[in-house]
Amino acid sequence: MGEKLIGRPIVPGEATGTVLRSDRTISLWGGVDPQTGTIIDPHHDRCGESVVGRIFVFPGEKGSSTGSAVLLELARGGLAPAALITRSLAPVVALGSIVAEELYGTAIPVIVVTPDAMSELANGVRLSVGRDGTLRPLDDRLT
């Protein structure tokens, strides 16, 4: 990716982390184990990987509206992703993030980006997320 991208922060916040990129929509309920943060949906392209502390990039949400509760339970256990980046409005995920911040003070930014911007967010890239929705690559070689 280039110098930076800007998305719309539907839940604003700051974060840094490494991208876990998925090309499949996800239902957090039945898709992520709330006690471990591991993706458990066998149909998902990142099944078996962990979302804990990662910047989880995914095309959108699907399925159960209980997904908000899964994100809240992850936040309670300190197992939440660092940030969530998606290309479609994801109200269930946004709700889980907002309640997590109100209840536990855990900020999990949720950023909506364009499909073009999304295609630039490769797996394994380290990013910083700003309150205004700015996504900057962090160059590890300089640190």
What is the set of active-site residues?
A: 64
Instruction: Please enumerate, as own/partner, the contacts of 32-41 that have beta carbons within 8 Å and a separation of 24 or more.
Output: 32/70, 32/74, 34/69, 34/70, 34/73, 34/74, 34/77, 34/79, 35/73, 35/77, 35/79, 36/79, 37/74, 37/77, 37/79, 37/80, 37/81
Q: Which is nearer to another protein, 113 or 125 (CB)?
A: 113
- Cα separation of 12 and 10, whole Å? 6
Closest approach, Cβ 7 to another protein, in A, equals: 13
CB of 91 to another protein, least distance (A): 6
Report if residue 10 touches another protein, rule: CB under 8 A. Answer: yes
Considering only 14, 38, 59, 62, the residue that binds another protein (CB under 8 A) is 62
Residue 47 found at the interface with another protein (CB under 8 A): no
User: What residues line the site for another protein (CB under 8 A)?
Assistant: 10-11, 30, 34, 62-63, 65-69, 72-73, 75-76, 89, 91-92, 94-96, 98-99, 102-104, 110
